[in-house]
Amino acid sequence: MAVTAQDGAGDFSCNHPYKEAGIYIKNCEQNQSPVQSNVVQALETASVIGELCLAGQALSSTTVAGLAASLRNSSGVHVVNLADCMVSPAALVGFLDAFTSTAALRNLNLHGNNIGSQVTAKLGKLLAVNTSIKTLVLKWNNLGISIDAFSIFCNGLSQNSCLDELDLRSNQLCMDCAKHLGSAIRSNTNLKSLDLRWNNIHNEGAEALLRGLEENRSLSSLQIQGNCIHREIALAIDECIKNHATIVKANSDYDIKTNILLDRIRVLEESRSQQVNEIKERMTTQLGEAEKRLGILSRENQEKETRIEELENKLFVKEEERKIIIQRSSVLEQNLKDREKSHKEFQTMHQRSLNKLQQEVKEEENEQKAKLKYLEEQMMENQKVKEESQDLLAQQIKENKSLKDELSRLKTQHGIQITQMEETFETQKKSWKNKWEDMERSHEDQIHRLKSSAFEIQQELEAKISELGEKQSRKLLSLTETCERVKQDKNSLEERISSLQNTTSQLQRENSNLIAQVAEPARKLTSLMDELSNEKVLNQRMKQEKMEAIKIQEDLTKELENMKSRLILQKTELEQSEKSHEEQTKSLKNKLKQLQSKLDDKNKKIESLKSDERARTKFLQSAFSKYFDKYHSLQSPSSKSSDS
């Protein structure tokens, strides 16, 4: 049932969910033509399943124009069935124009539409241009009415390269149409099925088709029943079609095999490319690892070279230090020798001074003894006067007390002097120790100081000895004066005797003090000897350090030799790795050559198969030609006999 544009405007708008139906409705509205609901439903189902089926439905020219507009840019409709729709020729021409640009149509059925010459020519032009239609059904359309239009159709068919099936049943095709169709078959290399049943081809048309089949290799199905064709021609056509089928099968098998071989070759090439890529990746990784190892080895070599340089510098510094130590040890030895000489000289001088002092003390003792003897004699002589001098003893005792006080004071002063001397000696000893610790910095200054200190001590000793001698001389003078006074004054004899006793005790004490003072320089000498022994110990330590430095130098030389041996081993390992890389690359190249040779052999086999197929086809062609020659030679006498 047809629906007018005004009635359907509410039901079918331009914004239809299906594009083809929406375009059809819009076209109908623009042309003010009625919208057919059955066409809209068919377009909706076609947009879903891809097949537009309007078979047996009456379609006006405006409806066909709307269909053409909806299918012109459609990409979802692949099958169009307009069988028995009785579409006018002008509408069909416009409808076919829509398929010149589309590439979606695969199957077109125009069965029973009484196609005229205009539509037949248009179909030929469409076939010459279209590259998507695989199946074309044109039965019951009277295509053979116009031979010229059918020749245009056949010309388009000869140029077509995608059509597989063509149905031309019941189209009143004559012998001339068959001739045009045979020439089209000769040129077409893609058509596989052709249906020519119930036409008027006759024998001449069949022979033209047979001649076209001789050059065609793609047609595997040709139906020619109901065309008044002689049985032998039909059998020849059937045989040719069977041969075509076998050839097509062989070609298909060959294509399959070639595709399989190509797939295998592709797989081999892919595997080869993968292997090559893997080999390249391995080579790149190995080269990268080798470069990394070379970089690491170069860094290690640089580090080792820098370490060797540092060790050489250390060795040079150690050598310089060793030379300096040797020089210093030689200087120290010389200084020690000089000091030993100076100490020996000092000892000899000190011994001489001690001997002199001892001799002087002995002489003074002898003199004192002589004086004491003389005094004893005087005392023996003066014992007689003793009684007379008892009165004067008390006074003398008082004087003795005063003298004792003076002696105690002198003792304290002398003790203070001794403590001061000891303190000075200890300070000097500390300074000497400090100077001895700093001996490595300034040996000559310290020796000079020691000499100066020893000289000062010697001067002090000599001064003290001279002072003591002067004191003793003074005391002796005082004693002589007292003796004279005793002679002069017998009353003061006992006082003088006590003073002499005191002086003798004091002299003894001073003698002991002198002995103690002489012991102090002996102690100093022992301390100096200890210092000398300490210097010898330091010398030995320096020698030990020197030996350790020599050992360190030997160890460093050993380390250098070990480093050199390691470097040589690393170089050999690098050479071996490079050789192994070269061998691997050579083996990979050999494998590539083998694969290339295999590919060449397979290509040669493929070419040999192609040449064999060509030889077979030529052999079949020659066999068919011989067969047809025999057939024609047999047919000609039979025709003559029938004429007679």
Q: What count of Cα atoms within 13 Å lies in the side-chain half-sphere of residue 240? A: 27
Q: What's the rounded mean pLDDT across residues 590-617?
A: 79
CB 494 within 8 A of CB 394: no
Cβ contact 47:20 at 8 Å: yes
pLDDT band at 435 (very low <50, low <70, confident <90, very high): low
Dihedral of the alpha carbons of 15, 19, 24, 28, in degrees to the nearest 10: 20
Residue 502 lies in a domain: yes
443, 328 contact by CB (below 8 A): no
The 10s digit of each residue's pLDDT in 151-179 is 999 999 999 999 999 999 999 999 999 99
Backbone phi, psi, residue 103, to 5°? -125, 15
Q: How far is CA 51 from CA 25, 56, 77, 265, in A?
A: 19, 15, 6, 40
Number of domains forming the structure of the chain: 2
Which of 528, 563, 598 lies at the terminal end of a domain, its last residue? Answer: 563
Domain of 409? 312-436+448-563
Q: Is residue 285 part of a domain?
A: no
Residue 533 domain-assigned?
yes
Residue 155 tokens, joined: 């010309």
Closest C-alpha to 183, from 206, 152, 158, 214: 158
Contact by Cβ (8 Å): 381, 489: no
Q: How confident is the prediction for the chain on average, in pLDDT?
A: 79
- In the three-class reduction of DSSP (H, G, I as helix; E, B as strand; rest coil), residue 297 is classed as helix
Check if the beta carbon of residue 453 is closer than 8 Å to that of residue 428: yes
How many CA atoms are closer than 13 Å to the CA of 422, on its beta-carbon side? 8
pLDDT in tens, 560-577: 777 777 778 877 777 787
What whole-number distance in Å separates Cα of residue 75 and Cα of residue 494? 167
Q: Which residues contact 143 (CB under 8 A, 6 or more apart)?
A: 115, 120, 149, 150, 153, 168, 171, 172, 173, 177
pLDDT by residue (tens digit) across 260-311?
Answer: 877 888 888 787 778 778 877 877 787 778 778 777 877 877 887 788 788 8
Q: How distant, in Å, are the alpha carbons of 109, 171, 198, 199, 362 from that of 226?
A: 22, 12, 4, 7, 183
Domain boundary, last residue among 521, 547, 563: 563
Q: Confirm whether 473 is domain-assigned.
A: yes
- CA gyration radius, the chain: 74
Higher-pLDDT residue of 522 and 268 is 268
Does residue 14 lie in a domain region? yes
Q: What is the pLDDT of residue 389?
A: 59
Residue 135 lies in a domain: no
Least confident of 278-287, 391-400, 563-572, 635-644: 635-644
- Report d(CA 1, CA 37) in Å as an integer: 7
Lowest mean pLDDT among 64-73, 238-247, 561-570: 561-570
In angstroms, rounded to a whole number, what is the distance separating the alpha carbons of residues 113 and 97?
Answer: 17
pLDDT of 247 strictly over 70 = yes
Q: How far apart, in whole angstroms, are the C-alpha atoms of residue 187 and residue 283?
A: 55
Please identify, among 563, 587, 611, the residue that sits at the C-terminal boundary of a domain: 563
Lowest mean pLDDT among 296-300, 445-449, 625-629: 445-449
pLDDT on residue 610: 76
The residue to which tokens 């006759």 are assigned: 202
CA distance 80 to 310: 94
Instruction: Please give the Cα distance from 203 to 227 (Å, whole number).
Output: 8
In a domain, 23, yes or no: yes
Its sign, for the CA torsion 43, 44, 46, 47, is positive
Q: Taking 70 as the threshold, does the pLDDT of residue 226 lie above it?
A: yes
Q: What is the pLDDT of residue 110?
A: 94
pLDDT score of 214: 86
Report which residue type is found at 461: L
**Whole-angstrom distance, CA of residue 89 vs CA of residue 594:** 67
In a domain, 371, yes or no: yes
232 versus 536: the higher-pLDDT residue is 232
Measure the CA–CA gap between 144 and 173, rounded to whole angstroms. Answer: 4
Per-residue pLDDT at 7 exceeds 70: no
Count Cα atoms within 13 angstroms, Cβ side, for 207. 7
Decide: 146 and 117 in contact? Cβ < 8 Å. Answer: yes
Alpha-carbon torsion 504, 509, 510, 515, what sign?
positive
Q: Residue 12: which pLDDT band, with cuts at 50, 70 and 90?
A: very low
